[in-house]
Structure 1
Amino acid sequence: MTSMQPELAAVLWDMDGTIIHSEPVWGEAQHRLASQHDCRWTDADATALIGSTMEQTVLALHTAGIGLDGTAIAESLETAVVDSLHERIVWRPGAVELIRSLRLAGIPQAIVTTSSQRLVDVVVRALEAEVAFSAVVSGDDVLEGKPHPEPYFQAANRLGVNIAHCVAIEDSATGLKAAIASGAVALGVPCDAPLQEGAHHTQWDTLAGRNVRDIEQLFNDRVRRSHDHG
């Protein structure tokens, strides 16, 4: 007797670089802070931090020679990014349309990000007309940020679902590591940094033109493949 294939329980969204195109905003804030303190900071330095936690970002800026304490660095960066997002949010291609398609299909959605709750709140408010997220896990909520899977475990726990029955959408290698380690069906959609192809995740060039049927097909294909190799 064959067991029934599970259904998609939820879609878990990374935020920066996946829902919103905010990495350039973070990079600009880092460059500005480094310039104010006469420190060298390159585009490569900023790119290397895509998907990183605030603690990792603060450490990198400290290492570059910025003499502020960690709290002051974090506050400076966050304030600059929040101010920018209040002025204008640049949505990733197809993200809002896919969020809408999933909502209409009744599939729960959550944001799982290393950014602070203060930043997440700006995006959640901007999306209020499209979706009420069933859960939000921010960098403030976890002891271990990505690439550790704790943020994804927390999201599944809050939703009351099996993480293996979720699709996690990420744009960075760091985020993908967290999604894969959690046991979720991992989908990589690169933004500002390329992603390596891999056997443990699916990769799409863009979310543009994608809808709930594509996500369900991805989930079903991955689950079927894992059963075949199990």
Structure 2
Amino acid sequence: MDGTLVDTERYWIAAETALVESFGGRWTHEDALQLVGSGLWSSAEVLRGYGVDLPADEIVENLTESVRRQLVEQGVPWQPGAKELLEEIRSRGIRTALVTMSIRSMAEDIVGGIPFDAFELLVTGDSVDNPKPHPEPYLAAAAALGVAPEDCVAIEDSPPGVASAIAAGMTTIGVPHILDLDDTSATVIWPTLDGRTVDDIVAAFRSATDAEETA
């Protein structure tokens, strides 16, 4: 979700910076990059190491509420082409799940603003035991949809997300946002979703499948 569908990573970074600075610490852009794509409770432990003297649950609540306020004040910044591609996916009857390490209430806020039935189900950071890069989130999504992981395509913007989807056995399209994905094991990398169609997704899936069969 964050970074793939919507450009909210800058909201998270602002929230992290304000929280660390409120405890007298310093949080740089480079510090923030280490949290991109990670689970919120894992991120909370990192922030505790930077001097945020709060329990992990309170850190997660603080960050989430800060981002939600920014969404209200500044709006939901969609990534180029994301909403258009998602709408075409759904119009063609393709099943969908949103797999995000944001908590459910945050994901529901974002999904609630989409003017069509975008996702059949949500897998969120507070519904799994092991966050990305562990495969559990994507395996949980496939199981809930009742489909095999190898029949799924994941679209991801971060190294932990790519690692999670690949470990789950899914064809994975990497769309870099804040972090470079060249050193990941993404099946294919697209610079942007702008102009992409369902046919492009199908082609990526078939190419990956053919490559596995001939390997």
- TM-score over 0.5 for the pair: yes
**Runs in 1 of length 4+ with deviation above 3 angstroms?**
197-200
Shift of 1:75: 1.2
RMSD: 1.1
Give yes or no for the alignment of 1:100 onto 2:87. yes
Over 3 Å counting, the alpha-carbon distance change for 1:171 and 1:86 in structure 2 is same
Alpha carbons 2:103, 2:124 under 8 Å: kept: yes
Shift of 1:177: 0.4
TM-score (norm 1): 0.90
Aligned-partner residue type, residue 90 of structure 1: P
Give yes or no for the alignment of 1:155 onto 2:129. no
Alpha carbons 2:159, 2:184 under 8 Å: kept: no
Cα deviation code 1:34-57 (max 9, x no counterpart): 111111111111111100111111
Partner of 2:76: 89
- Output the CA distance in 2 between the equivalents of 1:173 and 1:79: 25
TM-score (norm 2): 0.96
Q: How many residues align?
A: 214
Aligned-partner residue type, residue 13 of structure 2: G
Give yes or no for the alignment of 1:176 onto 2:162. yes
- Between 188-197 and 201-210, report the one with greater CA deviation: 188-197
Q: How does 1:88-167 map to 2 (within 5 A)?
A: 88-127=75-114, 129-167=115-153
Alpha carbons 1:102, 1:212 under 8 Å: kept: yes
Shift of 1:130: 2.6
- Output the CA distance in 2 between the equivalents of 1:24 and 1:202: 25
- Output the CA distance in 1 between the equivalents of 2:118 and 2:27: 38
Percent identity over the alignment? 38
Structure 1 residue runs of 5 or longer lacking an equivalent are: 1-14
Aligned-partner residue type, residue 33 of structure 1: L
- Between 62-71 and 194-203, report the one with greater CA deviation: 194-203
Aligned-partner residue type, residue 145 of structure 1: P
Shift of 1:131: 2.6
Cα deviation code 1:160-207 (max 9, x no counterpart): 111101100100001000000000101100001111245552111000
Give yes or no for the alignment of 1:53 onto 2:18. no
- Which has the higher relative contact order, 1 or 2, with Cα contacts under 8 A spaced 6 or more apart? 1
Structure 2 residue runs of 5 or longer lacking an equivalent are: none
